[in-house]
Amino acid sequence: MMWNRIGALIASALMAIASLVQAHEGEDHSGASLATSATASPTAPLYVSIETQFLARIETSRVRLETVPRTLRVLGRTLIRSEREAIVTAPQEGRLIATSDYKIPALGELVKRDQIIAIVEESIAAPDLVTIATERARAASELRQAEASLTLAQREYDRLTKLAGVVTDKDITAARNTLEVAKAKRDGFVEQVALLDAASTTGILAQKRRMIRAPLDGMIARTHVTLGENVTRDKPLFQIVDTSELLVEASVFENDVAAILAAQRAFFTVEAFPGESFPARLISRGATVDERTRALPVLFAVPNAAGRLFGGMFGRVYIETGSEVSGIAVPKSAVVDLDGQPMVYVKTGGERFTPRPVRILERLSDRFLLADEGVLKPGDRIVVQGIYQVRMSKPLPAAGDSSVR
């Protein structure tokens, strides 16, 4: 029963809508004051109310004449300098350990040259107890002899130093060297006896540790081991790279080779940092044009002290060629492509914006230089933000501009 009542209500609503459509059929709903964008000229003035400009945050900026160096733009890719990259390997078999003063560096951590970045400990198994006892007795005997030699060497050195001025400096230096050698021998036998004493109870003759130091300043780019892992000799442990300066490789078509020969300055840009450029320095160029691509390889150096760039990033290199060109400078955000034609939107009234076709002379890292052909003049205000909202607005009526303030 309830479903029948609901069905009847829906049917009544549909009939009412159909009646309204028939009653208004043939009426013009396009609006008398504004024309449709489909029939308007691409350069017809557009109407954007003050309210819309405020809500859409539409911003304009005055254009100006500017003279800039002619610029060649090519694609480039960053590389790590080979002399600033190192693979650190294990010098011996053993286990990777940590101490209270040392921890394995993490991925991305910065390290300094000669900083300890790994400790590999090798355990040497002891022979049987009889052999240990024999070796211990021999070492103890040699230790007593070394101590006697050290005593004699110390006496001789003390005697000669008291005769300074009578004996030659050469004799004193020789005595000092003999004393140092005697001390080293004594210390070696003391350590040997201690190791043999420990081996008689632990079964381990020695634990040989090797400190591994960073060969250069840089960042840990890769880690191949974990704490406590057993490693073999020459196993890769870390990759360290110094990215304080990167290389950028690029190719210049043979028609543009003259621009490279006259290059004054260069800049590198990446999409990760829009509106920013990094100074680049040409350091080398190839000697042969590639037969297949008809391009000459070139190489730039880019400072990267802040570490914002990484190896393998793609970007564009802007090369200033030395000659100059003048035109209208506008931000890149002010130019849009309309079916292959670059366009800007000029504010010609309080609520009036006029599209104008332009020709790009130079594509700089942060702006375009447009041809000075009378389309724009210094002081014109063009849209630099909110251009999409302006572009989608309806044209002004052809009859007049009564709505423009």
What does the pLDDT look like over 88-136, one tens digit per residue? 888 888 888 887 777 888 888 999 988 988 888 775 555 555 576 777 7
Q: Which of 379, 360, 378, 382 is nearest to 370 (CA)?
A: 360
Q: Do 72-82+242-322 and 86-239 agree at the fold level?
A: no
Tell me what percent of the residues of the chain surpass a pLDDT of 70: 83
Q: What global pTM score does this model have?
A: 0.55
Name the CATH topology of 72-82+242-322.
Answer: Elongation Factor Tu (Ef-tu); domain 3 (2.40.30)
- CB-facing half-sphere around the CA of 142: CA atoms within 13 A: 17
pLDDT value, residue 158: 92
Q: Which of 197, 80, 182, 226 is nearest to 136 (CA)?
A: 197
Contacts of residue 278, defined as CB under 8 A and 6 or more positions apart, other chains included, come to 267, 268, 269, 302, 303, 304, 309
Place of tokens 């008809």: 294
Tell me what percent of the residues of the chain surpass a pLDDT of 90: 34
Name the CATH topology of 86-239.
Answer: OB fold (Dihydrolipoamide Acetyltransferase, E2P) (2.40.50)
Burial class (CB in 10 A: 0-12, 13-18, 19+), 382: buried
Residue 244 predicted with pLDDT over 80: yes
Q: How confident is the model at residue 176 (pLDDT cuts 50, 70, 90)?
A: confident
Lowest-pLDDT choice from 17-31, 143-157, 190-204, 288-302: 17-31
* Whole-number Å distance between alpha carbons of 384 and 365: 16
All structural domains of the chain with their residue ranges: 46-70+326-391, 72-82+242-322, 86-239
pLDDT value, residue 334: 92
- CA Rg, the chain, in Å? 41
Residue 381 predicted with pLDDT over 90: yes
What average pLDDT does the segment 303-316 reach? 93
Lowest-pLDDT choice from 126-135, 242-251, 340-349: 126-135
Question: In CATH, what class is 46-70+326-391?
Answer: mainly beta
pLDDT value, residue 20: 34
Q: Which of 317, 366, 315, 372 is nearest to 64 (CA)?
A: 372
